[in-house]
Chains A and B, each alone.
Chain A
Amino acid sequence: MPDGRHEPEQAIAGTSMGGTMDLGVDEAETLEQRPDGAGGPGPEGKPRSLWSDAWRDLRRNPVFIISALVILFLVFISLWPSAITSGSPLKCDLSKAQQGSQSGHPFGFDGQGCDVYTRTVYGARTSVAVGVLATLGVAVLGSVLGALAGFFGGVGDSVLSRITDVFFAIPVVLGGLVLLSVITSNTVWPVIGFIVLLGWPQLSRIARGSVITAKQNDYVQAARALGASNSRLVLRHIAPNAIAPVIVVATIALGTYIALEATLSYLGVGLKPPSVSWGIDISAASPYIRNAPHALLWPSGALAITVLAFIMLGDAVRDALDPKLR
């Protein structure tokens, strides 16, 4: 407690937490307690970080729970597809081509007589791998480069901006045709690498912009005036305030990357059969949409649900990181 010079109406500082509170005009307006504030853990109140606060919020957000469960399920079947299907995606019987749902084959058969259910389950692996890994690569590379350029500015920033301009000028599909056609490997890695190569400038530009905005905030200046180092400024004060647009764009991009893999596979430069991917299946089924709509519906539905789940997750995370929305 400080000296005893308190004004009578303010002499309440430091009273026990259960005590009656006498408030001056100025403080009354904002004394809504958060529901967990008063009944919190112990009188000291455990120090919480931004991330633990965000996590506490997320656990109670149904949007987050649903999307996280969907994503966990997708990751699970990507790792162990045989857990929910006993068939093989490559075992096809032309005599059953385009047949509808039947016992043991709930999704029916596609144009080649392959089981759509099994192929949809196995296709998750490619789509999830491409979507998640490409987005991670793009987000890490793009946001680190963009944040550094935005924070330090100067020559490095100018050089990076021109490089991103160059990458923006490359048409994605044409670039894919040129670059990927020379690669013979039939794995997801060249596709992921290609997406990262062309995708990072988008995120770096977003990250740079939001870092520049966050950097100009008074609290960054204030933190500097109170002795914060550059790394602390970036990690504690700038990054948490600049990350929201990056998360949103990254989750939306994730959907487009899964679709891009499908596009590239359709053009024959992404994955090639016998690889299994939703993109391959969607393009293979599209000519038969009138005769066998189910063969198009299931992989497209899986793709749509996956993309939606990631976008919802991104949205929930962004909201949780903004204390004003709590």
Chain B
Amino acid sequence: MLLEVRDLHVEFHTRDGVARAVNGVSYGVDAGETLAVLGESGSGKSVTAQAVMGILDVPPGRITGGEVVFQGRDLLKLKEDERRRVRGAEMAMIFQDALSSLNPVLSVGDQLGEMFTVHRGMSRKDARAKAIELMDRVRIPAARERVRQYPHQFSGGMRQRIMIAMALALEPALIIADEPTTALDVTVQAQVMELLAELQREYRMGLILITHDLGVVADVADRIAVMYAGRIVESAPVHDIYKAPAHPYTRGLLESIPRLDQKGQELYAIKGLPPNLMNIPPGCAFHPRCPLARDVCRTDEPPLYEVSSTRGSACHFWRECLDG
């Protein structure tokens, strides 16, 4: 395994109390593999990624347990200085909104070049040449002229390509993409996703794709981990999940995708709201919204049951769910 997250716990200490954002998440990615992490806002998917990257705001955030083993080392045990060297060089992150993720006062060439001057100690001139090469690589037209332009002079799709180029610059082994296409037009989404998937194959990188867009996932992911209230509720190869979900929450997510053959009917929505992280329901966190919930769900927290050798579901009644 390239990256293995084991039993990660993250809390946020706020004035109103302790929000338990991540409660025992475990997942892994191999080189060349794409893991999609699915979940609603507040399910802990981004927080997990920030903890893996080591960019969690501490305080108020705090990692209270678990391991993040990357290339054989537990990153949580490294000193901040060593971790910083891992970031960017060995693992990199792509953010949701490329306009706000690029510094408005630095030209894109400077920002791309910075990767090489900081991590590789290159001269500014060499770094500039590398920046142009990277812009070519992510297919930004007229890279030579545009290298000196500022982020606001690029369109949304182009900016996201620049973010991708920055993340790829040092050919990291792992990329975490936090909703990389959410802020883009649908047509551009497909282009950017395709580019990312293609570069991932080319460099044999591990990719963690954080998203709530099930359409994106089906095309590019190898495995899916579905998160709810800071836990993984289902983890499976992508085709298994689309064929037959083994958790009622996953089923709900799949059913909420609008479909052409349902035109005129009301859209399906999972009833209720995601739980308050300061006050997660006892037992299975999903039980107040679950159509299959019974008494045991209110008292016993389900472990991640083994559905098959490659698949797990944290539902007491996964068999029932699987059978539909």
Chain A residues within CB distance 8 Å of chain B: 1-3, 5-6, 10, 12-15, 17, 21-27, 29-34, 37-38, 40, 43-45, 47-50, 53, 217-219, 221-229, 232, 236-237, 240-241, 321-324, 326
Tell me the bound Cα distance from A162 to B155 in angstroms.
45
- Write out the residue numbers on chain A whose beta carbons fall within 8 Å of the beta carbon of B101: 218-219, 221-222
B118 x A228 contact (CB < 8 A): yes
A6 x B139 contact (CB < 8 A): yes
Q: Which of A5, A17, A226 contacts B167 (CB 8 A)?
A: A226
- Write out the residue numbers on chain B whose beta carbons fall within 8 Å of the beta carbon of A47: 109-110, 113, 124-125, 127-128
27 contacts between A and B (CB under 8 A): A1-B136, A2-B136, A12-B141, A13-B135, A22-B141, A25-B187, A27-B140, A31-B141, A38-B145, A45-B109, A47-B127, A48-B107, A218-B101, A219-B101, A221-B101, A222-B93, A222-B101, A226-B88, A226-B167, A227-B84, A227-B87, A236-B106, A237-B106, A240-B103, A241-B103, A324-B104, A324-B150
- Write out the residue numbers on chain A whose beta carbons fall within 8 Å of the beta carbon of B68: none
Tell me the bound Cα distance from A318 to B110 in angstroms.
20
B143 contacts the other chain (Cβ, under 8 Å)? yes
- Write out the residue numbers on chain B whose beta carbons fall within 8 Å of the beta carbon of A34: 148-149, 153
Interface of A is mostly: loop
- Write out the residue numbers on chain B whose beta carbons fall within 8 Å of the beta carbon of A228: 84, 88, 114, 118
Tell me the bound Cα distance from A31 to B127 in angstroms.
24
- Write out the residue numbers on chain A whose beta carbons fall within 8 Å of the beta carbon of B92: 225-226
- Write out the residue numbers on chain B whose beta carbons fall within 8 Å of the beta carbon of A3: 202
B158 contacts the other chain (Cβ, under 8 Å)? yes
- Write out the residue numbers on chain A whose beta carbons fall within 8 Å of the beta carbon of B37: none
Q: Which of A1, A13, A222 contacts B102 (CB 8 A)?
A: A222
Please judge, given known A-B contacts A38-B145, A222-B95, A226-B92, whether A50 and B139 are in contact too, CB under 8 Å: no
B145 x A17 contact (CB < 8 A): yes
Interface of B is mostly: helix
- Taking the closest CB of chain A, its distance from the CB of B106, in whole angstroms, is 6
- Write out the residue numbers on chain B whose beta carbons fall within 8 Å of the beta carbon of A26: 155-158, 185, 187-188, 191
B141 x A23 contact (CB < 8 A): yes
- Write out the residue numbers on chain A whose beta carbons fall within 8 Å of the beta carbon of B89: 227
Chain B residues within CB distance 8 Å of chain A: 53, 55, 84-89, 92-93, 95, 97, 100-107, 109-110, 113-115, 118-119, 124-125, 127-129, 135-137, 139-150, 152-158, 163, 166-167, 185, 187-188, 191, 198, 202
A30 x B155 contact (CB < 8 A): yes
Tell me the bound Cα distance from A44 to B132 in angstroms.
9
- Write out the residue numbers on chain B whose beta carbons fall within 8 Å of the beta carbon of A12: 141
- Write out the residue numbers on chain A whose beta carbons fall within 8 Å of the beta carbon of B84: 227-229
B155 x A27 contact (CB < 8 A): yes
Q: Which of A25, A49, A326 contacts B110 (CB 8 A)?
A: A49
- Taking the closest CB of chain A, its distance from the CB of B177, in whole angstroms, is 11
- Taking the closest CB of chain A, its distance from the CB of B173, in whole angstroms, is 14
Tell me the bound Cα distance from A176 to B288 in angstroms.
67
B53 x A225 contact (CB < 8 A): yes
A241 x B128 contact (CB < 8 A): no
Q: Write the chain B residue with the least CB distance to A322.
A: B105
A-B contact sample (9 more), CB < 8 A, given A24-B191, A30-B153: A13-B137, A32-B153, A44-B125, A47-B113, A47-B125, A50-B106, A226-B166, A227-B85, A240-B106
A218 x B100 contact (CB < 8 A): yes
Tell me the bound Cα distance from A301 to B88 in angstroms.
57
